[in-house]
A and B are shown apart, each in its own frame.
Chain A
Amino acid sequence: MITEADFQRASRAMSALQQAVGEVIVGHEDVIRATLIALLCRGNVLLEGVPGLGKTLLVRALAHATGLRFSRIQFTPDLMPADIVGTDIISETDGRRQFQFSPGPIFANVVLADEINRATPKTQSALLEAMEERTVTVGTHTYALEEPYVVLATENPIEMEGTYPLPEAQLDRFMLKAIVTFPELDELIEIVARNTEGEGIRLPRTEVSPQDVLLAREVARQVPIAEGMRAYIGRLVAATHPSSLLSPTSVRDYIGYGASPRAAIALTLASKANAFLDGQAHVRPVDIERLFRPVFAHRLILNFRGESEGIAVDSILDDVWKKVPLTS
C-alpha cells in the first residue's frame, strides 16, 4: 500500500531527476518527459531525429543521474543478435572447462539502441524479448534483466538507404515515440556554450537511487484514473480503426490498421506517469491529451492510399482527437 510518505519521496526523486537531466539537455522537454515516463512505466521509447541532437547525451544523463547502468548499441547491418544479447563462451575454472554466459550490452538498465533501423530484422528482433518480457534467452537458458530496465532506440528519418524499417510488431512494443527536433536558436547557442566552455558537459549526479525509481514506478502505477477517462481512452483507440463508427473519415480513407489494445494500456500508464510527474494524484484529461500523439503516432499503419498520397499520421491523429469528445 502506498503511503503519503512514499508518494512524497517518489515525487521528490522524480523532480530531482527531471531537474538534473534538464540541466544537461537544453530544451527537448517533451523528449525528457517521454524518457522518464517510459522509465516509470516499464516502457521503451523510440526517438526519431537526425544525428547530433543530443539523444545519446540524454540517455547517458538519465542513467548517470540515477546511478543506473547504461549501455549503447550502435546498430549496423552486420550486427548479429549475439552481439546484443551475449553468448556462451568456454571458460576454465579450477582446471575445468565449461560454457559460461557472457552477457551482451543488452544487460544494462538503460540501453540505447542507436539507429536501430540499420540492423537486419533478425537482429532487431533480438530486442523484442528484452523489451517486452525483460528477459533474454540464449540457447536453452533464460536470463532476467535487472530492473529498472528501459530501451531507448533512435531512428534517423532522413537516411533511408540501407535501412530496415522496424516491423509493426516491434514498433508496437515501443510505448512512446518522441520526435527529437532541431533546437531553437537560443537553445542552439546555449548548447554551443555548454560544450565549448569550461569543463564542457558534466553528467549529473543525484541522490536518486534505482530503488527510488522503482518506488516511483509503483506510485505512478497506482495513480487512479476515473472510469470515464478509461472509457475515453478506449474510444480514442477504437476511433483509429477504419471499421469503427467512431472513426473520422480520414481514418477510414487512409488507415490500414489502427492502434492495438497495447496502445490503450500504454496511454493509460503513460497518462498516470505524466500526472505523477506533474505532482498530481489522478489522471487528468490534459495527461491524455499530452500523451495521445506520442503513444499513437507509430502505431497507425497507413494503407496503400495513405502511403501513396503521403498522408501524415499526425494529421489523422488530429482528426481522431477532434472527433472523439471527452464526454459522450
Chain B
Amino acid sequence: MTRPAMNEVYAALAARARTVAGLGTCARVAAAASAVFLGLAVPGRLLGWPLLGVPGVSLALVAASTLIGYLVGRARPADLPRTLLRADVGLGTEARLSTLHAIQDRQDLAPFALRIAAGLPARPVSASVALPIPRRVAALLAVAATMALATVIAVSAIPRPRPPASAAPSAPIYVPTEVPPRAEPAPATASDALQAQAARDDAVPPAASSAPLADASSTTESSVAASDLPTRPQSALTLEEALQRIEERVAADPGSALSDAEREALATWVEGATDALAEAIRDLLAQSARGNTLAQVRAVLARPDVHASPSSQPPAAQRLPAPDTQATTAGPESVSAPSAGGAPASGSTPGRRGGAYPFFDEGAGGPTEITLVGATLPSTIGTAGDYSYYVTRSVPVEPPPDDPATPRGTPLALSYERASAIAAGRALPSDVLEAVRAYFTEITEGGL
C-alpha cells in the first residue's frame, strides 16, 4: 500500500474514531438527559408544570442534549496512535497499521515498512469494521431510548390536571354546532336533568370525558377557518340570515351551486322545521345541483314560515324552550339563552360537555350530544360591541329585542345587569348566578 493510500486510510479511521467518540459522548449524555428530563416529566405531569409535564418537551430536550453531546464528542481530535491500534484489533492486522504510522517518516526502517505493508490485507480497510461502535455505547443508547419511551408512555398515561377556570381566560370557547336528539328520555324537571347529567359525568372516566373536548377542538377549529357558515349561523344566524347570505353569494356568482358547507348548514334546519319548510329546504338541497340555485334560494326565502315560524332558528335553538315551555323541553346540555321574551333559550356551558345548571335543562327534548367548535374570540369587547359570538346557546343573555325597527347588524349591548335581572327573575340558585356573573366577567374581561 502506498503512502498516500495509507494516509487516506488514516484519515478515514480518524474520522470514524471521531464519530464513535461522538456516539460515546452522545450515549452518556442521552442516558443522563433521559434520566433527568424524563424523570422530571412524571412529577411535572402530576403537578401540571408548564413545560416539563409535556412528554414532547422532555423528549425534545433529551434529543437536543444528545445532539449536542454527539457534536461535542465528535469535535475532539482523534488520538491517532490509539485509534490505529484499535483498528488493528478490529481488523486483526496485529498492530501493522499503527506500526506503519509510527515509522512512516523513518527512511532507515524502509525494509521493515515494506514487510509490514506486505502483511496488510489486500482488500480496502473498512473503517466501520475496524472501529465498530462499542457494545457499551450501543447498550447505553438502547437504555436511554428505552428509558425515554417508557417515560413517555408513563407520562402520557397520567391525566393532566385541569387548570382552574380563571387561569385560562383566553382559551378557545367551543360553540356547539350540532345537537342531534338522543333516544334517552329527557328529565322532566330541572333537578332531574341535573341528576342525569351528574350520573353521566360520573359514568365517564376523566380521561375519556376530556378526550372529546380535545378532539372537537382539533377538528372544528379547521372548519371555522374554512367557512364561517357552519359555525356562526348555527349559533347566531337565523335560517333567514343564512339564506340571505347564500343568496348574496350565489347572486354574485350566478350558476354556482351550494357549497358543502352551505348544504351542511341548511341540512341542520330540516330536522326541526315544519313539514312544509323542511320540504322546501330539501328541494333546495336537491335542485341546487341542477343550476337553479338562486331561484330556489329566493323561493325558500320568500316563504313566510322562514321569517315567522320557530323554524327560523337553528334546530338546536328551535328545541330551546319558549319561556312558558322550557321546563319540559330543554335538554340537560342546553344552556339558557335569552329569548325575545326575556326567557332563556338554550345552549351549553362553554368548554363543558353538557350543561351543569338546572335551569339550562329546562324544557329540553332530551339529552343531547354536542359537537364543539373552537373559535378565537376578541380579547376584550367592553360594554358594547359585536358580542354576537358570545350570544350562543352557551350564553345566558337576551338576544336583541325582536323589533323590526332595529336594523340588522346593530351592535348588541352586553349587560350583565340585564342578564342578572333575568336570572333573578327566574329564582336561580345563587351558585348559578355566580357562574353567570363569572362568565360575564370573563368574556368582558371585567367590563359590564
Contacting residues, chain B, for A229 (C-beta < 8 A)? 85, 95, 98-99
Nearest 9 pairs between A and B by C-beta? A228-B85, A226-B98, A281-B115, A227-B81, A282-B99, A284-B94, A281-B112, A4-B111, A226-B99
Task: Please count the residue pairs between chain A and chain B whose beta carbons lie under 8 angstroms apart in the complex.
Answer: 80
Contact status A226-B111, CB under 8 Å: no
Given contact pairs A226-B84, A228-B85, A282-B115, enumerate 9 new A-B contacts (beta carbons under 8 Å). A4-B114, A222-B112, A223-B112, A224-B113, A226-B88, A228-B81, A231-B81, A284-B94, A284-B95
* 22 A/B residue pairs, CB under 8 Å, sorted by A: A1-B108, A2-B108, A2-B111, A6-B111, A7-B112, A222-B109, A224-B106, A224-B112, A226-B84, A226-B98, A227-B102, A231-B81, A231-B82, A281-B112, A281-B113, A281-B116, A285-B89, A285-B94, A286-B94, A326-B89, A327-B86, A327-B89
A5 to chain B minimum Cβ distance, whole angstroms, is 9
Known contacts A226-B84, A227-B81, A327-B86; A282/B108 CB under 8 A: no
Residue of B nearest to A224 (CB): B103
- Please classify the interface of chain A as helix (H, G, I), strand (E, B), loop, or mixed, using the class held by over half of its residues: loop
Determine whether A324 belongs to the interface, using a CB cutoff of 8 Å to chain B. no
B135 to chain A minimum Cβ distance, whole angstroms, is 14
Interface size in chain B (residues, C-beta < 8 A): 25
CA of A1 to CA of B106, assembled, Å: 11
In A1-18, which residues have CB < 8 Å from any B CB?
Answer: 1-4, 6-7
Partner of B85, one of A6, A222, A223, A326: A326
Contact status A228-B115, CB under 8 Å: no
Residue of B nearest to A2 (CB): B111
Determine whether A225 belongs to the interface, using a CB cutoff of 8 Å to chain B. yes
Contacting residues, chain B, for A327 (C-beta < 8 A)? 82, 85-86, 89
Determine whether A142 belongs to the interface, using a CB cutoff of 8 Å to chain B. no
In B109-138, which residues have CB < 8 Å from any A CB?
Answer: 109, 111-116, 119
Known contacts A4-B114, A7-B111; A328/B82 CB under 8 A: yes
Question: Which of A1, A227, A231, A326 has most B Cβ within 10 Å?
Answer: A227
Contacting residues, chain A, for B109 (C-beta < 8 A)? 2, 222, 224
Determine whether A216 belongs to the interface, using a CB cutoff of 8 Å to chain B. no
Determine whether A119 belongs to the interface, using a CB cutoff of 8 Å to chain B. no
Contacting residues, chain A, for B116 (C-beta < 8 A)? 224, 281-282
Residues of B within 8 A of A (CB): 81-82, 84-86, 88-89, 94-96, 98-99, 101-103, 106, 108-109, 111-116, 119
Residue of B nearest to A226 (CB): B98
Contact status B111-A282, CB under 8 Å: no
In A92-143, which residues have CB < 8 Å from any B CB?
Answer: none
Contact status A224-B111, CB under 8 Å: no
Residue of B nearest to A225 (CB): B99
Contacting residues, chain B, for A286 (C-beta < 8 A)? 94
CA of A81 to CA of B98, assembled, Å: 48
Residue of A nearest to B114 (CB): A4
Partner of B98, one of A3, A228, A328: A228
A218 to chain B minimum Cβ distance, whole angstroms, is 12
Contacting residues, chain B, for A281 (C-beta < 8 A)? 111-113, 115-116, 119
Determine whether A61 belongs to the interface, using a CB cutoff of 8 Å to chain B. no
Determine whether A277 belongs to the interface, using a CB cutoff of 8 Å to chain B. no
Partner of A228, one of B84, B94, B103, B106: B84
B98 to chain A minimum Cβ distance, whole angstroms, is 4
Contacting residues, chain A, for B106 (C-beta < 8 A)? 224
A89 to chain B minimum Cβ distance, whole angstroms, is 47
Residue of A nearest to B112 (CB): A281
CA of A291 to CA of B45, assembled, Å: 62
A125 to chain B minimum Cβ distance, whole angstroms, is 39
B203 to chain A minimum Cβ distance, whole angstroms, is 64
A183 to chain B minimum Cβ distance, whole angstroms, is 32
Determine whether A313 belongs to the interface, using a CB cutoff of 8 Å to chain B. no
Known contacts A2-B111, A281-B112; A224/B102 CB under 8 A: yes
Residue of B nearest to A327 (CB): B86
Contact status A227-B114, CB under 8 Å: no
Residue of B nearest to A279 (CB): B115
Determine whether A238 belongs to the interface, using a CB cutoff of 8 Å to chain B. no
B25 to chain A minimum Cβ distance, whole angstroms, is 17
CA of A87 to CA of B116, assembled, Å: 50
Question: Which of B99, B102, B106 has most A Cβ within 10 Å?
Answer: B99
Partner of B95, one of A3, A6, A283: A283
Partner of A226, one of B95, B113, B114: B95
B112 to chain A minimum Cβ distance, whole angstroms, is 4
Contact status B102-A225, CB under 8 Å: yes
Contacting residues, chain B, for A4 (C-beta < 8 A)? 111, 114
